[in-house]
Amino acid sequence: MKIGYKRVSTLDQNLDRQDLGEVDKLFEEKISGKSSADRPSLNSLIEFSRQGDEVLVHSIDRLARDLRDLQEIVQVLNDKKVSVKFLSENLTFSSDQYDALANLQLQMMGAFAEFERNMIRKRQAEGIAKAKQRGVYKGRKASIDPTIIQKLAAQGKGATNIATELGVSRASVYRLLKNQEMGS
């Protein structure tokens, strides 16, 4: 079975440029590639794949942006006797065939993908710092209304109950409650 995997980093990005050709099953997600642990579609693909399947990915950086994650994902799939093919790089990895040159290329391309991600984060941090100096950086919009948390806390609800009710983390609730106490 040919299984496709497509990934982009943000919701407003488009998956269309990642042409995989004809596949029997397709897994897609719009999520950062920084960690394989937090990628439900990738985890579903790994669970779904069976011996003899071939996973098609447009390019190495679509599968992972961290070299260790990349190597681990390929190894997990190969251990299941599933091959992984990267179309842009024209590299295939399978458990029955070891190619030292392909393995070197995987490591180099994975290292470049990780380097690129780190450079993006560095430039972003520099841009934020400069915007803060100019007084134009406001941070991201608050996703939690502090007045709702304050009302629920005033009703005697604890942080765990508030977090569960609002679908947020307890740390966020504690942080907002602490900020409200400090502002009072």
Annotated catalytic sites, by residue?
9
User: CB of 61 within 8 A of CB of 118?
Assistant: no
Task: Give ∠ CA 28-34-36 in degrees, rounded to 5.
Answer: 60
Can you tell me the distance from the alpha carbon of 67 to that of 64, in angstroms, rounded to the nearest whole number? 7
Half-sphere exposure of 35 (CA within 13 A, CB side): 2
User: CB of 49 within 8 A of CB of 78?
Assistant: no
Can you tell me the distance from the alpha carbon of 120 to that of 123, in angstroms, rounded to the nearest whole number? 5
Q: Which among 1, 68, 2, 3 has a CA at the least distance from the CA of 33?
A: 68
